[in-house]
Amino acid sequence: MNTNKNLYPTEPLKTWAEAKYLRNKYYQDFIDAKKKGGLRVSGSGTMYFSLLGGLGKDVWTLTGEPYSATSAYYQDFSTQCMEAVEKAGIARDLCGYLRNYWGGVLLDKMIMPDGTILNEWPKPDFFFTSHYCCTHAKWYQWCREAGGNLPLYGIDVPWHPFTQETTGQRIDYIVQQALEGIEWMEKVTGRTYDDELMLEAMDNEARSSYYWAETCVLNRAVPAPLDEKTIYSLYVFNTLCPHNQEITDFYRKVRDEVGERVERGIAAWSNERFRYITDSQPPWSFLHIFRHLERAYGAVSVGSLYSYALEVNWDLDEQGNLVPAKTPQMLGAKRDTREDAVRAYVGFKIKNGLLCRWYDSEVTSGIMKKIVEAWKADAVLIHLNRGCEGTAIGQMENRLDLMKANIPVLTFEGNMGDYREFDMARTLNRIESFFESMGIEKIES
């Protein structure tokens, strides 16, 4: 093993500052929406965002999962949220994100990305969500009641194109709900829906997905131009407001910059010696574990099915490789009427790559194996996530499948949203022992 510390040139990401700016702006826009006469909408980060587009450009979202990841990062605030939920008699093993969010509602407090705590939970005008796992719509069902019977619309998505054949009847079910959702939004907001704005949002959302998928493909390069901790700060916009023009523009810039880094051989970490992928959301309160492994071992996480594919649309080629899904514009989809446009959008949106794991663990294993191969990973670290049963589903079978394919795998248990369920020292011990068993030497103590 080469123990020279610097094998590759590295430099900071130029788009980093913009990522930080956009993330802060996202939350501030939601807070300020009422002052600007706009609308606040909350729901899952997997929602059908572009459908909101037709209501106007002053509709601001607060997606539950990313917000709650921020909340989880701030342990003191997160503890208050968790305890408020437990005091109310709500089960402690429910989704870690949900408990951070519900805790904020119960405390009437919200935390901003910089740690500022607001002494009022910003009530949305309505909830708009999709529903894949057992939690999504039920999450906002509780919130609507807590908020005094706020309007809620959910889109049920009971199948996935990687695991079920895409048929007209299956697409129809989602299209019908989406079309009804538009009429429902007109009714609850009193606004007239603008199909042109909807189309614009759909184009933006599709391109946001496509640019990010292309960026992920670029990360196959050795050295990797991005490490996963950085990826977490970038992928998130697809779960915040991918239908906004500034997000689409941002993703184009990121893709261009990462492409340029690959051309110039710029590494995320100059000491990259060992590449691995992870699985599931990380324990958000302990992201410094990535930095430790990078510095101490030159071990770089180059991504995961989660960070490549959450709210990002992919196709599977004949060999089972992930290929960025072409946008409706690229496919020349017919979009002359609202229904046609929604149908094209649904046909694209349904290809959300991560969500196949809700519908078949064996298919997920196959994709993970392909990621290991294409992204040249040496191992897989699976976070057995007690905080998200949606991403924990199939993990044990994935482990067996990867081992069968002679891919080294390590599991560690934790919780993305509840730091009380993560043992940092024990986890590090496990990972270090795992690395040791693979002959990975420490290059820095």
- The binding site for other proteins (CB under 8 A) comprises 88-91, 93-95, 131-135, 137-139, 141-142, 144-145, 152-159, 163-164, 167, 169-170, 172-173, 176-177, 180, 358-362, 384, 386, 389-390, 392-397, 399-400
* Residue 296 neighbours by CB distance under 10 Å: 18
- Smallest distance from the beta carbon of 393 to other proteins, in angstroms? 5
- Smallest distance from the beta carbon of 358 to other proteins, in angstroms? 7
Maximum alpha-carbon separation in the chain: 65
Cα(343)–Cα(348) distance, integer angstroms: 9
- In terms of CB distance, is 209 or 361 closer to other proteins? 361
- In terms of CB distance, is 73 or 159 closer to other proteins? 159
- Smallest distance from the beta carbon of 131 to other proteins, in angstroms? 5
- Smallest distance from the beta carbon of 412 to other proteins, in angstroms? 12
Cα(104)–Cα(120) distance, integer angstroms: 9
- In terms of CB distance, is 3 or 164 closer to other proteins? 164
- In terms of CB distance, is 182 or 293 closer to other proteins? 182
Long-range contacts of 247-253 (CB under 8 A, 24+ apart): 247/22, 247/204, 247/208, 248/204, 248/205, 248/207, 248/208, 248/211, 250/15, 250/18, 250/19, 250/22, 251/207, 251/208, 251/211, 251/212, 251/215, 252/207, 252/211, 253/15, 253/18
- Smallest distance from the beta carbon of 271 to other proteins, in angstroms? 34
Letter string b/e over residues 241-261, b meaning 16 or more CB atoms within 10 A of that residue's CB: bbbbeebbbbbbebbebbbeb
Cα(253)–Cα(390) distance, integer angstroms: 32
DSSP-H helix ranges across 285-394: 288-297, 305-309, 328-331, 338-349, 361-374, 389-392
- In terms of CB distance, is 85 or 333 closer to other proteins? 85
- Smallest distance from the beta carbon of 45 to other proteins, in angstroms? 17
- In terms of CB distance, is 152 or 268 closer to other proteins? 152
Element (H, E) at 324: strand 322-324
- Smallest distance from the beta carbon of 159 to other proteins, in angstroms? 4
- In terms of CB distance, is 266 or 380 closer to other proteins? 380
- Smallest distance from the beta carbon of 388 to other proteins, in angstroms? 10
- In terms of CB distance, is 94 or 224 closer to other proteins? 94
- Smallest distance from the beta carbon of 66 to other proteins, in angstroms? 21
- In terms of CB distance, is 248 or 395 closer to other proteins? 395
DSSP string of 195-235? HHHHHHHHHHHHHHHHHHHHHHHHTTSSS-S--HHHHHHHH
Closest CA to 259 of 227, 299, 217: 217
- In terms of CB distance, is 15 or 361 closer to other proteins? 361
- Smallest distance from the beta carbon of 245 to other proteins, in angstroms? 31
- For residue 228, the cross-strand partners are none
- Smallest distance from the beta carbon of 251 to other proteins, in angstroms? 30
Alpha-carbon 204 to chain mean position: 17
Cα(65)–Cα(96) distance, integer angstroms: 9
- In terms of CB distance, is 50 or 395 closer to other proteins? 395
Long-range contacts of 162-169 (CB under 8 A, 24+ apart): 162/316, 162/356, 162/359, 162/360, 162/363, 162/367, 163/356, 163/359, 163/360, 163/363, 164/359, 166/347, 166/350
